[in-house]
């Protein structure tokens, strides 16, 4: 058995040649800056040595990232593909939000690292840019930036994964002024991925919306049709009240039109039920009809919540 820490460092011109050969043969959206570092090897002993495996189609986070094979175990210490899928599934909705152009590159450099002679980690400033741009959106869903992605543990320079426009001076793009759960993206696959990452989904109308400190309190009508539930019990469903986290001032067109029926998604954080997605129940929309048709047979991948 070998660990990543046992992989030898490249030397001299071999480093340059390896990087050049890889850059030519792999996705152009990656840049590899030189790096020497035993500092980021965890020293963990794995049950089996690292190997190259195909990135499966149902690993949606990284299937279209620009290369076909990945190292397993990966750089987040997931030893099986099943474990990778479980953890990666909860990040797919964040990529859909486009909070930073390098979100997928950063995440996949860890979940599905490219096959090289030794592991290459993302640059620290790439992590910081993605974190700073995406954290406000994550917080609106009740998610903190997870400890496993603490940027301080990634390299400052030398060989590390970056993107052509990601430098220490680059600034995060920020996010749309529209409340993130209210982004009305009516693409079937995006809605289904978001639904899978939520704990429950219901069809209902909204009775009343109130401001409560920095949140918006969403009171639903009594009549509700449950499309998905996990731990949501009938007694909780009857008196279900949702909160739009930090959404007191950002625009949400859906909450301004209380006469419509909506597909509402949410999850429980502490003692509150948070609104994580809201789409108009629009049977005239081809994408919405496609979503409802797929929903009948769609199986959500089982994943563990990596944010708690």
The 10s digit of each residue's pLDDT in 29-57 is 444 343 333 333 444 545 567 889 999 99
- Residue 77: half-sphere exposure toward Cβ, Cα within 13 Å: 11
Residues 196, 288 within the same domain: yes
Residue 19 sits in the same domain as residue 130:
yes
- Same domain? For 53 and 194 the reply is no
Residue 191 within a domain: yes
Q: Evaluate if residue 136 carries a pLDDT over 50.
A: yes
Could you tell me which of 171, 130, 136, 175 has the C-alpha nearest to residue 149?
130
Taking the alpha carbons at both ends of the chain, their separation in whole angstroms is 32
Domain shared by 10 and 131, yes or no? yes
Average pLDDT estimate for 94-107: 90
| Number of domain units in the chain | 2
Let me know if residue 303 belongs to a domain.
no
Q: Pseudo-torsion of CA 15, 17, 19, 24, nearest 10°? A: 180
Domain housing 118: 4-162
Percent of the chain with pLDDT over 70: 77
3-state secondary structure of 74: coil
**Same domain membership, residue 222 and residue 141:** no
What is the spatial distance between Cα 227 and Cα 219, in angstroms, rounded to a whole number? 19
Cα-based distances in Å from 287 to 118, 139, 187, 281, 291? 43, 28, 6, 11, 6
Query: Are 101 and 32 within one domain?
Result: yes
- Rounded distance, CA 206 to CA 209, Å? 8
Q: For residue 130, what is the domain's CATH number?
A: 1.10.2000.10
Average pLDDT, the chain: 78
Same domain for 276 and 128, yes or no, is: no
pLDDT (tens digit per residue) in 221-251: 999 999 988 878 888 888 899 999 988 888 9
Q: What percentage of the chain carries pLDDT values higher than 90?
A: 36
Map 255-298 to HEC letters. HHCCCCEEEEEEEEECCEEEEEEEEECCCCCHHHHHHHHHHCCC
- Residue that terminates a domain, selected from 135, 162, 189: 162
What does the pLDDT average to over 128-154? 90
Residues 36, 134: one domain? yes
């Amino acid at each position: 058995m070998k660990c990543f820490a046992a992989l030898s460092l490249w030397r001299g011109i071999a480093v340059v040649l390896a990087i050049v050969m890889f850059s030519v043969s792999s996705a152009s959206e990656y840049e590899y800056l030189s790096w020497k570092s035993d500092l980021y090897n965890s020293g963990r002993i794995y049950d089996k040595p690292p190997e190259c495996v195909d990135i499966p189609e149902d690993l949606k986070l990284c299937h279209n990232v620009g290369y076909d094979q990945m190292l397993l175990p990966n750089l987040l210490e997931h030893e099986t593909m099943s474990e990778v899928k479980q953890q990666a599934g909860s990040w797919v909705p964040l990529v859909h939000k486009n909070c930073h152009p390098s979100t997928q590159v950063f995440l996949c450099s860890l979940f599905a690292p490219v096959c090289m002679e030794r592991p290459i980690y993302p640059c620290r400033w790439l992590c910081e840019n993605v974190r700073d741009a995406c954290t406000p959106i994550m917080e609106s869903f009740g998610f903190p930036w997870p400890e496993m992605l603490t940027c301080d543990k990634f390299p400052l320079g030398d060989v590390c994964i970056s993107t052509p426009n990601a430098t220490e001076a680059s600034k995060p793009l920020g996010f749309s002024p529209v409340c993130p759960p209210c982004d009305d993206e009516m693409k079937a696959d995006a809605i289904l991925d978001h639904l899978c990452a939520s704990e429950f989904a219901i069809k209902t109308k909204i009775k009343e919306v109130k401001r409560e400190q920095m949140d918006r309190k969403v009171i639903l009508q009594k009549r509700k049709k449950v499309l998905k539930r996990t731990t949501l019990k009938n007694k909780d469903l009857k008196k279900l009240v949702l909160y739009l986290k930090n959404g007191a001032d950002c625009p949400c067109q859906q909450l301004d039109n209380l006469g419509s029926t909506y597909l509402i998604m949410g999850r429980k954080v502490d003692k509150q039920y948070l609104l994580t997605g809201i789409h108009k129940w629009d049977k005239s929309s081809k994408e919405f009809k496609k979503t409802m048709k797929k929903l009948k047979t769609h199986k959500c991948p089982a994943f563990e919540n990596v944010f708690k």
